Amino acid sequence: DAGVIQSPRHEVTEMGQEVTLRCKPISGHNSLFWYRQTMMRGLELLIYFNNNVPIDDSGMPEDRFSAKMPNASFSTLKIQPSEPRDSAVYFCASSYSSLGDGYTFGSGTRLTVV
Amino acid sequence: GENVEQHPSTLSVQEGDSAVIKCTYSDSASNYFPWYKQELGKRPQLIIDIRSNVGEKKDQRIAVTLNKTAKHFSLHITETQPEDSAVYFCAASGSYQLTFGKGTKLSVIP
């Protein structure tokens, strides 16, 4: 298995533009997580999907952020409009378990909003 | 919700010495405690984990201990090598969500 695949690896965009981050989880994993990593706040959970259904989106910072999982092999995280404070590394992770174990992280997307 | 505190935030050791990183958690329902290593520009990767029914677990040069009564757990790395230099994260989970500590930047000086 190729692991969790994220794209793009790097994204530089201007403030106000829409940004879409993509994730392909490991086949057979039924849980998918989007995390944001910054120096100040560390790793923060944004949203959790189980069997393609959003279970917990309490970490989504505001309405500018949205996430979808139309099928078991694909998820997107969208920011519209983007702001400089959204600059961070966004990780997608998938797991075979709903008990916190079995996490595998993707390589992340480094987002810079100028 | 769960809150995980991690100390120290930075740690420098001489090659061959031991390194210890400590974490405390707040939710007594948490029962799974993994440790992740993140090298610069790379993804966090699981290096060892422990469940609440076990007090200690060892894998070659790394070990983790858990004290459920005190709600703290620690990572021990012995005979450190330069390739151990990275940021280490502890985490705690009682359900689907891993709550991470803020990380410890470990530098191993040759």
In this structure, is the dihedral angle defined by the CA atoms of residues B89, B92, B95 and B97, taken in order, positive or negative? negative
* CB nearest to B96's CB, from A42, A100, A105: A100
Spell out which residues of chain B touch residue A31, defining contact as CB-CB under 8 Å. 96
Question: What was the pLDDT predicted at B96?
Answer: 78
Chain position carrying tokens 């803020």: B102
| pLDDT one-digit tens code per residue, A33-72 | 999 999 888 999 999 999 999 999 999 988 999 999 999 9
Tell me: pLDDT of A1 over 70.
Answer: no
Token duo for residue A40? 């100040």
Is A51 in CB contact (< 8 Å) with chain B? Answer: no
Three-state DSSP class for residue B84:
helix
Query: By CB neighbour count within 10 A (0-12 exposed, 13-18 middle, 19+ buried), where does A58 fall?
Result: exposed
| pLDDT one-digit tens code per residue, B43-71 | 999 999 999 888 899 999 999 999 999 99
The closest alpha carbon to A111, from A76, A87, A83, A79, belongs to A87
State the alpha helices, DSSP H only, in A14-99.
none
Give dist(CA B94, CA A98) in Å, integer.
Answer: 10
Question: What is the share, in percent, of chain A residues with pLDDT greater than 70?
Answer: 99
Question: What was the pLDDT predicted at A102?
Answer: 81
The separation between CA A49 and the C-alpha centre of its own chain, rounded to angstroms, equals 11
Question: What was the pLDDT predicted at A33?
Answer: 95
The closest alpha carbon to A27, from A92, A91, A73, A75, belongs to A73
Give dist(CA A95, CA B96) in Å, integer.
Answer: 9
Tell me: pLDDT of A21 over 70.
Answer: yes
Count Cα neighbours of A110 within 13 Å in the Cβ-side half-sphere.
7
Spell out which residues of chain B touch residue A55, defining contact as CB-CB under 8 Å. 96
If one compares A26 and A2, the residue with the highest pLDDT of the two is A26
Is A107 in CB contact (< 8 Å) with chain B? Answer: yes
Tell me: pLDDT of B21 over 70.
Answer: yes
| pLDDT one-digit tens code per residue, B95-110 | 878 899 999 999 999 9
| pLDDT one-digit tens code per residue, B22-47 | 999 999 999 999 999 999 999 999 99
User: Which of B98, B99, B100, B104 would you mutate first to test chain A, the one with the most A CBs within 10 A?
Assistant: B98
Question: What was the pLDDT predicted at A100?
Answer: 76
Give dist(CA A113, CA B4) in Å, integer.
Answer: 30
Question: What was the pLDDT predicted at B94?
Answer: 80
